[in-house]
């Protein structure tokens, strides 16, 4: 790449990062005010300092993913909703192989690896598509519960997956579509590694 194109590419990348930073801050302020929360209230609910929240809302800093997750929890929204203002004019989210964002969820503590495969497409629902990987370091955890609806599609491996009081043996090509308000999750890891798509959809709360 010649120097002119390189400079233009770097400037464009910087501008995109700055726009994302500003739009995330505006969206957090919008959601906070809609819930009648002060910055102090959100700080207590999220364990993120007042100073940091103020900097984020004013677009003065680029928050880490873990910080955004804590703020989303404090606001009672999905992390993807924090990106909605930046993505509001987009109809496509393109993620190349291996470039999905690593996300911490409840199962992370049980050794479940989550990679978010897309976010921010405009619509009336929030959707979180994940590539989930379970290895020999992963534990079973059939105790997930949350709102929305969930769809699983098995890519590799074999497991028994619990939904309520039922067990479903899942192999490559199998799928499961269910109400996640009942307890659910991997109950028995039979053939490792296990990889599956998990798509969770919620009504848009933003």
Domains and CATH numbers, the chain: 3-87 (1.10.260.40), 101-203 (2.60.120.10)
Q: Is the pLDDT reported for residue 60 higher than 90? A: no
Q: What average pLDDT does the segment 114-132 reach?
A: 75
Question: How many residues are listed for the chain in this entry?
Answer: 206
CB 100 within 8 Å of CB 115: yes
Beta bridge partners of 160: 169, 188
> What integer pLDDT is reported at residue 14 of this predicted model?
40
Q: Is the pLDDT reported for residue 12 higher than 50? A: no
pTM over 0.85: no
CB 47 within 8 Å of CB 70: yes
CB 202 within 8 Å of CB 147: yes
- Return the residue matching tokens 């290895």: 135
Q: What average pLDDT does the segment 100-106 reach?
A: 67
Residue 65: pLDDT band by 50, 70, 90 thresholds? confident
> What integer pLDDT is reported at residue 43 of this predicted model?
95
Q: Is the pLDDT reported for residue 37 higher than 50? A: yes
> What integer pLDDT is reported at residue 125 of this predicted model?
66
Give the whole-number percent of the chain exceeding pLDDT 70.
77
Give whole-number Cα distances, 169 to 99, 149, 161, 172, in Å: 30, 20, 6, 10
Beta bridge partners of 113: 133
Peptide bond into 53 cis (omega under 30): no
Q: At what angle do helices 3-34 and 39-46 cross, to 10 degrees?
A: 100
Which comes out higher in pLDDT, residue 104 or 177?
177
> What integer pLDDT is reported at residue 13 of this predicted model?
39
């Amino acid at each position: 790449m010649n120097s002119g194109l390189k400079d233009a590419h770097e400037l464009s990348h910087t501008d995109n990062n700055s726009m994302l930073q500003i739009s995330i801050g505006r969206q957090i302020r919008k959601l906070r005010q809609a819930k009648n929360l002060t910055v102090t209230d959100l700080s207590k609910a999220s364990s993120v300092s007042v100073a940091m929240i103020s900097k984020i809302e004013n677009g003065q800093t680029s928050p880490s993913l873990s910080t955004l997750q804590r703020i989303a929890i404090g606001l009672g929204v999905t992390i993807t909703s924090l990106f909605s203002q930046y993505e509001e004019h987009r109809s496509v989210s393109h993620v190349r192989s291996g470039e999905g964002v690593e996300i911490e969820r409840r199962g992370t503590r049980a050794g479940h690896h989550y990679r978010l495969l897309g976010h921010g497409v405009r619509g009336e629902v929030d959707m979180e598509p994940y590539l989930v990987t379970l290895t020999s370091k992963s534990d079973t955890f059939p105790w997930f519960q949350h709102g929305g609806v969930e769809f699983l599609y098995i890519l590799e491996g074999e497991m028994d997956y619990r939904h309520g009081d039922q067990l479903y043996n899942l192999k490559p090509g199998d799928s499961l579509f269910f109400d996640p308000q009942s307890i659910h999750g991997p109950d028995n890891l039979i053939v490792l590694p296990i990889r599956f798509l998990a798509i969770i959809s919620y009504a848009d709360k933003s």
